Chain A
Amino acid sequence: MTENRKHPRRKERSWGKINFSQAFKQAPWRSQAQMVGLFLLAMVIVLLVAGVYLTISGQAASAGLQAYNLNAERRTLERTIADSKAQLALLTSASLMEDRAVDMGFESANPENVVYIVIPGYTGRQTAILAPPPGIVEEEGPVVKSEYRQSLWDWLFQGINRLSSSVESK
């Protein structure tokens, strides 16, 4: 009973193999198409990797240049702010303000013509608080991460180096 059960299964398996091989032998273009397909697949992968690499490289370079330009713009803005402060101070200098006040008909106050009133809660004029709001904490270092700065070549060599070093260590 046991022998009888084994034989038909073997036959089934060999028939399946023969049928598959026969199918290929009968249509040789299939093996060619398989080879070409595999080759094209490899090409597509390589092209995709190259495309991704080019895109990332472009973006990284663009980001680097943008950072450079932003730094330049920041320096320009700092100078503009300093200059604006100076211009404002020139326009509101004591002598100019006094001249303008006189032109507008104002007179210097004397103790006799000053009226003092009590304002509950008013503690008087407060001296200047000129500290700017807290700025961002700057960390010096590469703006673009190392992953985005590696060329494909660097990446390949890095991989090979890692592999060889791991083999050596074993």
Chain B
Amino acid sequence: MSGTAELRDIIITRTYDAPRAEVWKAWTEPARIAAWWGKRGWRTPVESVTLDVRPGGVFRLNSIADADGSEMPVDTIYHEVVPPERLSFGGQPGGRRATVTFRDLGGGRTEMTFTSSIHADAELHARALGGLTSAFDRLAEQLPRPRPEGTFR
């Protein structure tokens, strides 16, 4: 039933025109994650960001809506940290988790896959997908631009 709150999967795959180390940094450095986290129309103050990137470390930040100041925090701990391949984080043990993996496609390109699940009806699930997609668009925009081939450094 589409109106029922049930555990629904969230799986989003994106390819970025940037080396894997850069995409990893975008997730694991406070100033970098603050630049893209949150859907469009939201901002994440860098002061709100704590990234203690190791298993059991805190992954915390707070996004604020430009429109009305409402807040959407992340308040989790890292479960897995395998640089520059894999991060997983979530709430309490046994609770909901999210995993993000980074695959080196060669040629300075990276495939990122975000996997999670939420208890939600169809509408909330769609909202989560939309928000994440918007944030991952913003991530692409703040990655360093690839150098055109043949240019000097």
Is B one of A's binding partners?
Answer: no
Q: Which residues of A contact B (CB under 8 A)?
A: none
